[in-house]
Structure 1
């Protein structure tokens, strides 16, 4: 097990290094001069040269990459060209919105998908199965931003139960902050729940057809006990994999919903940095997305070993 962990950690570090190099190269090959964008088209060549010196844009790309990566490993992502503040400060402020929003959306997705998927598989071709299939297709078909607009119309404008947008900050209190995230979490979580319902149903249905489940039933084990004690735990590997993919998507791909609800999250920060040619901020945000994706995948791999001990045997980790 320790050897596997070392191999996975080594692969993670090398992948992070390769991704960091790719992100830096792509960001610095984008057309346009950040200094010219900051100073405007009327800036003199001497002023541009001076700003290039201040920003370090006159150094070689390998040197700039090493300096940037070394500083990033310590949490120093540089100074934002547009906002004039440390990029780490911007990211910390946006993470306080994006991470709770993603966790709430994942929690909602799991709370809906697990019972509907499991019961749909247990009663295959029955009423609940058809109902879960209909709900799944409905959630997948409706885009998140459109769901958000409908939620604002019915639960904020017509019936002011939740705020229509904005985020008061955690300093305003836990309940006001959570209340502001409920509608965007619904808009983000419902499409993901539709996908997860289908994955859960397929996984549980496959396990229910395994010999060990049929043997347990033949020995007199009640159907619900065989389902929840034997079938569901053995069907969690694809469900956990999908949850990992959904979490990284919700962290990086929530820009449309964040714009609908006027939330200052990481997705919106990335969009603003790209439109304003703020390379330093864009590099840091994309790098954070990549690091989070790789870290979540690494944790999912470890959870696979925990959920399915047969994987240890197949990898030669047991005697």
Structure 2
């Protein structure tokens, strides 16, 4: 069961559908790209149909992937009702960026200074970024000067926060992804380095390649242990002055998951009680591209939308990208 059929949900549907698993979807927006995939056997607009009738035997419950912050929030609100019907993702407390910053600081993990937004911002210095406190509720926006921020952002919004900006280009961003089982065992993992993003800066990856980094692997596993995290995770770091600074933790599959679908298959297997694949790192050199959002980027081994065995999402890509841009502008809060 895939909740949220963006390009991320599409990656999950393809990874599991290609291996013969039956994929069903929950998606409020009928225009989402993953609904065009031939691997999605059925779709509902809400969870009501999942919780009608008696629950199945615990071993026969569907494995639910929440692909996107809104889907995670919706699943969390219905956790008690959905539990008898689905294997649910781990509780996503790290979506609260203020709580994550506090936990990371307590564990001596390097993270940019994170502040609530108010009229003074007296403790903020240097270039700043404004973020939604919870998940992806609105875009991240940079401000080179504090004075400009004060005149551009609503200062009484409790759902926004400010972080001091870690300098550096997009390829200073590295992301570790993997699935941590309920027993603490980590399955296959991947480290990816962003090469391009859209919008630039502070957008989502549009071109990424996998790399090998023992340091990122070790620091990510240490963070998982220090914060007691489990489930499917993506930990984003930014390299600066010879160190890595924690940018965010996503408790779900990420946009570029298709380049390392071993992680998705492992997540399914662990939660369904099946044999997990070998716990090894995805090799360096795999490449991923979101051509519909970044048509000038170089070709890559995997595309976010295009696939020869599943062509409809790619054909729909240009219209879908325009719709996403319109939705982003319509929902922006500042």
- After TM superposition, the score normalised by the length of structure 1 is 0.23
Larger RCO: 1 or 2 (CA < 8 Å, sep 6+): 1
Higher strand share: 2
